[in-house]
Amino acid sequence: MYRKPVCLGPEHDLRDFDCGKPVMDAFLKDMARHNQEQGFTRTFVIADKDFTVVGYHSLCAGMIARHHVPGSIKAHQAPVEIPVALIARLAVDRRHQGQGLGAALLRNALQSVAMAAESVAFRAVAVHALDDGAAEFYIRYGFRQAKGMERTLLLPLKDIAASTQA
């Protein structure tokens, strides 16, 4: 049994998290709470019935230079720096992969961005994929390569609704 995605809180146990990518595990265990308190990232988690975290995503705001952005996102008279919501991290514990949790976390992240975008302007969602495998995961949800930035992927804000139904 998995709990719905919620904001990381004191009840959550992060100690055993292992997604197979040490850098993603270390972020959750060592940085996520600090970043949450300081306002650097917001982390949402899926936990099991015992509040052991089995998946998480972390969001923050970012900017991407106009020349990296495809025409469909840039449109006319875009500023030199284009505001994006950044999926800074997203990972699922290896023992729980392949059961739809990654998709559920991405859907939750995109829904948060869509809500935030009603009061803070974002033109797109960005992610810096860790490797080609991670990039493929995002591409299947409509993300596309940024120009000249290897494994940086973008999803136009207007495509969020379609992506969350994929």
Q: Which residues are catalytic?
A: 138
Nearest-angstrom CA–CA distance, 89 and 129: 9
Nearest-angstrom CA–CA distance, 87 and 100: 18
Q: Does 16 bind ligand COA (CB under 6 A)?
A: no
Nearest-angstrom CA–CA distance, 27 and 57: 11
Stretch touching ligand COA by CB under 6 A, among 33-41, 42-50, 89-97, 157-165: 89-97
- Check if the beta carbon of residue 140 is closer than 8 Å to that of residue 166: yes
CA angle 96, 130, 17 (to 5 degrees): 35
Residue nearest to ligand COA (CB): 102
Nearest-angstrom CA–CA distance, 99 and 152: 25
- Which one of 63, 103, 116, 149 is in contact with ligand COA (CB under 6 A)? 103
Stretch touching ligand COA by CB under 6 A, among 67-75, 112-120, 136-144, 155-163: 136-144
The DSSP annotation for 13-43 comes to: B-TT---S-HHHHHIIIIIHHHHHHHTS-EE
Q: Does 22 bind ligand COA (CB under 6 A)?
A: no
Q: Which is nearer to ligand COA, 66 or 97 (CB)?
A: 97
Stretch touching ligand COA by CB under 6 A, among 2-10, 27-35, 72-80, 128-136: 128-136
Q: Which is nearer to ligand COA, 122 or 143 (CB)?
A: 143
Q: Which residue has the tokens 């600090």?
A: 34
The CB-of-131 to ligand COA minimum distance in angstroms stands at 6
Q: At 134, list the tokens.
A: 């991670």
- Which one of 99, 121, 158, 162 is in contact with ligand COA (CB under 6 A)? 99
Which residues contact ligand COA by CB under 6 A? 19-21, 24, 90-92, 97-103, 129-130, 133-134, 136-137, 140
